[in-house]
Chains A and B, each alone.
Chain A
Amino acid sequence: MHFRITTDPIDTEAQRRLLGDARCGAYAAFEGWVRNHHAGRNVLGLNYACYPQLAEHEGQRILGEAHARFDIHDAACIHRIGNCAIADLAVWVGVTAIHRDAAFAACQWIIDAVKLRLPIWKQEYYADGTPIWREG
């Protein structure tokens, strides 16, 4: 069960292998991609700022809560920070369980909690204006 912040590209295959366990029949994963638009504006790229110590503490709490809420075997999340290009992977969540229902549900719950709670802020760069810090 690990939560990490990284400035490097996320290697989803390596993360998936770390979660591999013959006791589990299900693996559910989510990838958050950097998209090229927001609210009708063309986005050229973005930068994630972060309070790393707090993010890792809160990220670990989220994974611990997921373990308590869902019948899962293991869960992990990696969030990228710094400059990200369009189509880059910004966040990855992986969950293993004996059965798929819990894996799907926990995966969604984790990414929803990550988006709500982690001290990470996105600054979008637009073709048509100055960068702004997104809130919420």
Chain B
Amino acid sequence: MNIKVLYFAALKEASGLDEEVLPLPESLPTLYAQLRERYGFRHMQAQLRVACNGAFCDWQYIPDHGDVIAFIPPVSGG
């Protein structure tokens, strides 16, 4: 059971990855905490939004097999 995580902007820079496949985590906060430790992300969870399968979701969303997750650092478009 896997998910895919997409990395953008500062998170892509810190991890050196566009994306990776990972084992299904028990929660999104747990997943981010693990990745933050692994890659040294400077953002705290509270500074990020999270998206699942191309739409913003809640941090309380329970991930499912095949989900595509993205952590969204503070944006600067427009």
| Contact-size category for A | 20 to 34
- Which of B10, B12, B51, B55 meets A135, CB within 8 Å? B10
- Give the total number of A-B pairs whose CB atoms are below 8 A apart: 74
B56 interface contact, C-beta 8 A: yes
User: Which chain A positions have C-beta within 8 A of B76?
Assistant: 120-122, 133-136
CB-based contact A57/B54 at 8 Å: yes
Main secondary structure of the interface of A (DSSP, over half): mixed
**8 Å CB contacts to B: which residues of A93-128?**
111, 114-123
A119 touches B51 (CB 8 A): yes
8 residue pairs bridging A and B, Cβ less than 8 Å apart = A54-B56, A57-B54, A114-B78, A115-B77, A116-B75, A118-B75, A118-B77, A121-B73
Q: Does B78 lie within 8 Å of A32, measured CB to CB?
A: yes
B75, A133: Cβ atoms under 8 Å? Answer: no
Contact with A along B37-78 (1 / 0, CB 8 A): 000000000000001001110000000000000101111111
Specify which chain A residues have a CB less than 8 angstroms from the CB of B6 in the assembled complex.
Answer: 51
Quick one: which of A50, A55, A136 contacts B74, CB cutoff 8 A? A136
Q: Chain A: residues with CB nearer than 8 A to chain B?
A: 32, 48-51, 53-55, 57-58, 79, 90-91, 111, 114-123, 133-136
The distance in angstroms between the C-alpha atoms of A50 and B13, with both chains bound, is 14
Question: By the criterion CB–CB under 8 Å, are A133 and B10 in contact?
Answer: yes
B74 and A135 contacting across the interface, CB-CB below 8 Å: yes
Known contacts A49-B8, A58-B56, A133-B10; decide if A79 and B77 are in contact (CB<8 Å): yes
- Cβ–Cβ contact A118 & B78, under 8 A: yes
A119/B13 in contact, CB under 8 A: no
How far, in whole Å, are A75 and B48 apart by their CA atoms in the complex?
A: 29
Residue among B12, B55, B78 making CB contact with A115, cutoff 8 Å: B78
Contact (Cβ within 8 A) B78 A90:
yes
CB–CB A57/B77 < 8 A: no
B55 touches A121 (CB 8 A): no
Residues of A within 8 A of B70 (CB): 51, 54, 119
